[in-house]
Amino acid sequence: MAKGWYIGNEGNVARKVKKMYIGGADGKAHKVKKIYIGDKNSKARLCWSGVNGNIVFTTKGTSSNNAKKVYYSQNLGSPQEITLPNVQSGVTEIKVACSKTRFVCVVSMINFSGYASIYYSDDCINWNPVIGQMYTSAGTYNNIRYFEETGYFVVNNAENLFWSTDGVNWNSKRISSDVRLTDVAYGGGSYLITIHSHYPTMCNTLGGDITQIYDPTGKVNFSCVVYGNGAFVAHKPSAGIHRLDLATMKWTLVTSLTSAISLHEEISMVYGNGMFLCGTTFKGVFYSYDGINWSSYTAPLRIMKVSFDGEKFLGTSDTNYAYSYDGLNWTYIPQPNNLAYYSIAGN
């Protein structure tokens, strides 16, 4: 949400508004908490803006180039390459998420107590290691998300869910033995956790009781999930995008446009500005305004991993990162190497 509102004065200078009041039908002035503006679809959308103009993105390493760096861009400028301190040898991937004030990274394949699986930064340049909070492994769908509604960073790692308000002190819960969590989303007062080759689970509070969401088609094997427009939507490899009916707790296949996507790491999903958006490792980008009717297009350069900074969509590509205000038209910014960019976040 906008950090502050500005109104121009008689000198054509924008002055910050500390408080804003609008008159109501009762003839009294009421303090403005949120402002909505109509979009081109005649829908009222909550006004958002980026807070600091910071973007951090990460890479997926190869056998000869471990993923031990993050890349920082300020105000859509060229990025700085920053090496994280004291990273364990053999790291294969790093994922990043952020609040309005803090970025947090989860580092995969940390299995020695002297190394950190979590790093955090408030300036995107100096990164602080957090040691002893969790061990991570490669190939277990490690991911991190931040949910502004609840104030939690949430990490899914193997069969465990971890959560923290500051990225430093973490709580955890084993969801089930011998499973691999793939993603987590929050909306409508509940968290939805997707699991590889297993039924998704839902909980109202992190660490609280969980409920399996059974489906007549069996264990649905969702690879990623997001909440928006009053519903959860999730991608099932080799099948397509499903939508959860919260009244019946049943999943419905709403499009097979993504059925060619068969592997977990080939797709990412986000919701922002009234749009569901899916980036893929293919050239196709998929989107929907209601979670039911989906369309696709081919971007000039593929958009692989996507996020939303409160104002615009962010995306990773092979030798670029990208941004878009409508999810359809992208501006690309060149990067310093040719590794695949694996995660992106901005505030």
Mean pLDDT in order along the chain per 10 residues (347 residues): 52 54 57 54 52 88 71 92 88 92 91 89 97 81 94 95 97 89 96 92 94 78 94 95 91 95 92 97 95 97 95 91 96 77 90
Is residue 271 within 8 A of residue 229, CB to CB? The reply is: yes
Residue 264 Cα distances to 20, 225, 334, angstroms? 46, 11, 26
Pair 84, 71: CB distance under 8 Å: no
Confirm if 120 and 167 have CB atoms less than 8 A apart.
Answer: yes
- The pLDDT value recorded for residue 100 is 95
Tokens of 6: 């500005």
Question: What is the model's pLDDT at position 48?
Answer: 45
- Whether residue 240 contacts residue 258, with contact meaning beta carbons closer than 8 Å, is answered with yes
Report the distance separating Cα 124 and Cα 142, nearest Å: 21
Cα dihedral: 189, 264, 67, 91 (round 10): 90
What pLDDT score was predicted for residue 242? 95
List domains and CATH numbers for the chain: 5-45 (no CATH), 52-346 (2.120.10.30)
Q: Secondary structure of 116-157 in the HEC alphabet?
A: EEEEEECCCCCCEEEECCCCECCCCCCEEEEECCCCEEEEEE
> What's the pLDDT at 90?
78
At residue 197, the pLDDT reads: 85
pTM of the model: 0.84
